[in-house]
Amino acid sequence: MLKKTFACTLVPVVSLFLLTLAGEVCLRVYHFLKEGMPIERWPEYLVGHYWTTTLDDELGWKATENYRLIRQEETAEGKPYDLRLSQDAQGFRQFGNVASKKPKIFVIGDSFTQAREVSDGKPYYAIVGQRLDAEMFAYGVENYGTLQELMVLDRYLDWIQPDVIVWQWCSNDFANNDPELDRRTTSHNDFRERPYWVEGKIRYILPQATFTALRRWSYRYSHFLVFVFSRIDRLRLKYSRPTLEEQIQEQGLAHQGFARAVQTTEALLQRGVRRVRGVPIVAFNCTDEDPYTQQFREMSKRLGIFFIDDVARTIREQHATGADLYHADHAHWNETGHHIAGDVLSRAVQPLVRDLHPKP
């Protein structure tokens, strides 16, 4: 009887283990092939050291150092193009000469700045560097919140000593800056443990409150379990009505969680302004959505940040005419979209560069 009970218990446990193991192998092989990774680099990925982002004890996650990727991508309209992407020894997409006499522009942001959809020399900041003959330093990571970007700014500011800082924002920053909203957002949620600014202190919180120990273990060792958890979380949020985004769009600052996130975001930006000690900050929202853009605009005015409306608006207007500006994910810009954003941003930054570095 005891043996039968033991066998009945053991069979489903072993079956679950084998299913998880099979899922892990299949998912990793799929990503090996999707990422176009050379066979000799497979062992690195197998132990979690090869991806566009890796876990980091301070930042939550960071851009993978010395990362290289060559593969074919498609625009939203299905037009194929070749992608050649690299991240340097610190994870920067572009790192200029810190000793140069040219203007130095330090760019920080999220996935729009990591720009995994476009090749080296094609992101918007590369266009800015070409237009203004400036040294560009660009660090961005998918799903970063304002605190993580501020920590990157603090880490590299004194080394780079930039003349201008470009801070790329996104509408989801507000949710990413608040653990309660981050738990409820239906998009742009990485579900990983990240630092949050809570009551004037940095706290590391895993947004999802269930199976926290297993989730933390999964993010370090199991891509398959991360896949399962993320799909469950997204399905749960997808069918929750009204969504957090719908509530915020309807209520604006009357939504208590959004009002709290706005206060947190402004507090973090204020710390950034103090940290740079007078270096001008130019900022733009990569999406043209209210009430988010309105709040970015208002807090920028209060903090003395140069906020640029034209980037997202120009992208939206040209896309409305039928221009193919997005990657196949229909969320991020393709090379044409980045080129337009870079042109608009160049015109906005040019007066600052001219005043700081007048030509003889």
Domain 51-356, what architecture? Answer: 3-Layer(aba) Sandwich (3.40)
Question: Which of 171, 181, 289, 190 is closest to 234 using CA atoms?
Answer: 190
Angle between helices 223-238 and 2-34 (to 10 degrees): 90
Residue 131: which residues within 8 A CB-CB, separation 6 or more?
A: 342, 343, 346, 350
Torsions phi, psi of 107, nearest 5? -110, 130
Task: Quote the CA–CA distance of 11 and 7 in Å, as a whole number.
Answer: 6
Q: What is the pLDDT of residues 162-201, one digit of tens each?
A: 999 999 999 999 999 999 999 888 666 666 889 999 999 9
Does residue 195 have a cis bond before it (omega within 30 degrees)?
A: no
Note the pLDDT of residue 41: 52
For residue 64, what are its two tokens? 């993978």
Q: What is the pLDDT of residues 100-127, one digit of tens each?
A: 999 999 999 999 999 999 999 999 999 9
Residues of the chain with pLDDT under 70: 1-14, 17, 27, 31-50, 186-191, 209, 211, 233-234, 236-239, 357-360
Helices and strands (H, E) in the chain, number of each type: 14, 12
Note the pLDDT of residue 244: 84
| CA 295 to each of CA 101, 165, 171, 264, 289: distance values in angstroms, whole numbers, following the listed order | 36, 20, 10, 12, 10
